[in-house]
Amino acid sequence: MRRFGFLLRPGWVALVVVVGVFAYLAFTVLAPWQLGKNAETERRNALIEQSVEATPVAVSDVLSENGELHPDMEWRRVTLRGEYLPESEVVVRLRSAESSPAFEVLTPFKVDDATTVLVNRGYVITERGTEVPQFNPAPTGVVELEGRVRVPEGTLGREAIVGDDGITQVYSINLTEISAITGLELPQTYVQLAPEQPGGLGVIGLPQLSSGPFLSYGLQWIAFGIMAPLGLLYFARAELRERRRNKAPKEDSSPSSSEAPPVSPPTAEDRLASRYGKRR
């Protein structure tokens, strides 16, 4: 095991830890995160496609006894008949529409069966991000609406504010928070108005039915999680080969004692002495 002792040096230990943590996160956090978003997007697209062909139903038919919406019913087309309650209206700030800052207008709607449902009437463009522009009020009297049921958004942990115009501004479509603000008992779903409906404002379109890049991102994180340990193994083997090469015995360049000493070539005097000596 001595040949692997270099792995215990601080630099190598730090590299092993970094690679290990990265691979762990790639397999347990990053890849599941992207693959989960891909599954969620595909599920949403399937629900929207199904809702296009489905016949609209009364909003009360899609709500459970406790007022919650079944996840498989989101985006379902529903109908409502009743009256708007503009005195309890709120707006959602920090939205974007048509590449501009916007507000979304939420107006409670009392259905004939006495159920009160929050209706997203659409958006209004603003030139100032904190100032609510003028928009058309909700019609009075009994009206019939059509829209799509949506599940509420999560809370952002920021309290609602009341502008100088007296309009309450919230940061998300969270039914628990809006119920507390308005004093109304609202079910855990809201209706997003379809185009050309009474009281409708800027139409909030449907999401594009595209799976997006989430699947490829998830596969990439899996590949990175595999490649990182393999790269570490490659560099460790390269380091080991280099150390073996440096420790190999060097060839002795000195002559052996058993070898005869090299013979010097004859000089000119030796050649003359040899020639005349033979003549004599």
Where the chain has pLDDT below 50, the residues are 251-253
> For residue 136, with 0-12 CB atoms within 10 Å meaning exposed, 13-18 middle and 19 or more buried, which class applies?
exposed
- Asked if residue 150 lies in contact with residue 192, where contact means CB atoms within 8 angstroms, the answer is yes
pLDDT given at position 156: 79
pLDDT given at position 196: 94
> Given phi > 0 = left and psi -120 to 50 = alpha, else beta, which region is 166?
left
pLDDT given at position 211: 76
Tokens 């595209």 identify what position? 210
pLDDT given at position 142: 95
Q: Is the pTM of this model over 0.85?
A: no
For 72, residues 6+ apart whose C-beta sits below 8 A from its C-beta are 47
Task: Give the torsion through C-alpha atoms of 207, 185, 145, 134, to 10 deg.
Answer: -80
Q: How far is CA 230 from CA 172, 195, 207, in A?
A: 45, 55, 40
Q: How far is CA 128 from CA 26, 133, 225, in A?
A: 42, 8, 46
| Residue ranges covered by each domain of the chain | 1-55+207-241, 76-193
Q: How far is CA 222 from CA 29, 36, 231, 232, in A?
A: 10, 14, 14, 16
Q: Is 122 helix (H, G, I), strand (E, B) or coil?
A: strand
Digit-coded pLDDT (tens) for 225-236: 999 999 988 888
Helices within the chain (DSSP H only)? 10-25, 31-53, 175-182, 214-247, 268-279
pLDDT given at position 88: 94
pLDDT given at position 99: 87
pLDDT given at position 105: 96
- Asked if residue 106 lies in contact with residue 173, where contact means CB atoms within 8 angstroms, the answer is yes
pLDDT given at position 270: 62
Tokens of 42: 């595909």
Tokens 């379109």 identify what position? 205
pLDDT given at position 186: 92
pLDDT given at position 201: 95
As a whole number of angstroms, the distance between CA 153 and CA 177 comes to: 11
Digit-coded pLDDT (tens) for 67-81: 778 777 889 999 999
pLDDT given at position 160: 86
For 191, residues 6+ apart whose C-beta sits below 8 A from its C-beta are 59, 78, 80, 109, 117, 118, 119, 120, 145, 147, 148, 149, 150
